[in-house]
Amino acid sequence: MMGPHPAVADVRRAIRESLSDLDEGSLVLVACSGGADSLALAACLGFVAPRLGLRAGLVTVDHDLQPGSRSRADDLVRLSPSLGLDVAEAVTVQVGTLGGPEAAARIARYAALDEVSARLGAVVLLGHTRDDQAETVLLRLARGSGARSLSGMAEVSGVYRRPLLGVSRTRTEEACAALGLIPWHDPHNDDPRFTRVKVRQTLLPLLESDLGPGIADALARTARLCRDDADALDDWADRVYAEARDLGTGLSTALLAELPAAVRRRVIHRAAVAAGSPPSALAAVHIEEAERLITRWTGQKGVDLPGGVGVVRRYGRLMFTSSLS
């Protein structure tokens, strides 16, 4: 008997590896846009899940922004039984305007996926590929990021899993073709006004031809290595912070001065968040400014951080104050 097409075999293997820790009978849903990545994921999950004793389905979110989006969602729901999926939901969401249309659509989409996952007690699979990971790493590199940020998208994050981070986008297109599935082509993916599209269409091909093939693979590997480094440094900082906190208010400047810079900045970050700085607003420049109270101390006055948090150095301690409490 002929085996599956190699691209189909790759996607199935990636799913098996990603789900091997789940209990029998668990429900796994693919967040499916109809694009090649998540369609290949859905079809291959339908094959793999029963063999792992898992239940499988898909959920598709209609952002109601383009004509025909609801019927595309309905088509996916109709298709799902033939893919071996027992559960299928199409959710239409209201997209706000906060942060621009793309960001607003993403916020609405994840809110809908969170809700379905919580209601059905399901793990949710996302179709991000190795190429998405490579693009993410390049974009973050260009912004001047640390190891955590360069570690890109996580394979597991709460109820979400990304089984395809080691599989190329081309591979998912080949898998769809081999299975006779016609993916939906998102016009946004070709719109050169988006920086990510420029990275995809211009920068990565240029790097690929000038630096040699395998750049996407190399960037995805960088992400994995950075993740391990960031995890180790975070663990270290957690331990230092837990001990330093027990000593009373503020952090000892002598202790902070002795720490390696990577750990010191993480400890300051933890203290700032504990004092009320929102992590999303707290940038590397803020932490570096606070760090200068240790490394470049000339008796300067305090530093203001987002969320109304102030940092001052007093009597051998770095004190974090909140103007809100």
Asked if residue 126 binds ligand ATP (CB under 6 A), the reply is: yes
Q: Is 36 labelled as part of a ligand binding site?
A: yes
Q: At what angle do helices 204-211 and 215-246 cross, to 10 degrees?
A: 110
Q: Which one of residues 12, 109, 171, 227 is an interface residue with ligand ATP (CB under 6 A)?
A: 109
169 binds ligand ATP (CB under 6 A): no
Rule CB under 6 A: is residue 198 a binding residue for ligand ATP? Answer: no
Site for ligand ATP in 29-58 (CB under 6 A): 31-33, 37-38
Which one of 61, 116, 138, 294 is in contact with ligand ATP (CB under 6 A)? 61
Quote the CA–CA distance of 160 and 125 in Å, as a whole number.
6
Give the residue closest to ligand ATP by C-beta. Answer: 127
Instruction: Find the helix or strand (DSSP H, E) in which 111 lies.
Output: helix 101-120
Q: CA–CA separation, 11 vs 256, rounded Å?
A: 47
The length of the chain in residues reads 325
| Residue 304: strand, helix, or coil | strand
- Angle, helices 284-295 vs 261-275, to 10°: value is 110
CB of 102 to ligand ATP, least distance (A): 6
Shortest Cβ distance from residue 31 to ligand ATP (Å)? 3
Distances (CA, A) of 9 to 3, 164, 220, 253, 319: 8, 12, 21, 55, 56
Nearest to ligand ATP of 72, 224 (CB atom): 72
Decide: is 165 part of the binding site for ligand ATP (CB under 6 A): no
* Span of 127-135, 144-152, 171-179, 225-233 interacting with ligand ATP by CB under 6 A: 127-135
DSSP, collapsed to helix, strand or coil, labels residue 31 as strand
From the number of C-beta atoms within 10 Å of its C-beta (0-12, 13-18, 19+), residue 129 rates as buried
Shortest approach of ligand ATP to residue 22 CB, angstroms? 18
Q: Which stretch binds ligand ATP (CB under 6 A): 25-33, 137-145, 255-263, 290-298?
A: 25-33
Q: Which residues bind ligand ATP (CB under 6 A)?
A: 31-33, 37-38, 60-61, 106, 109, 126-128, 132
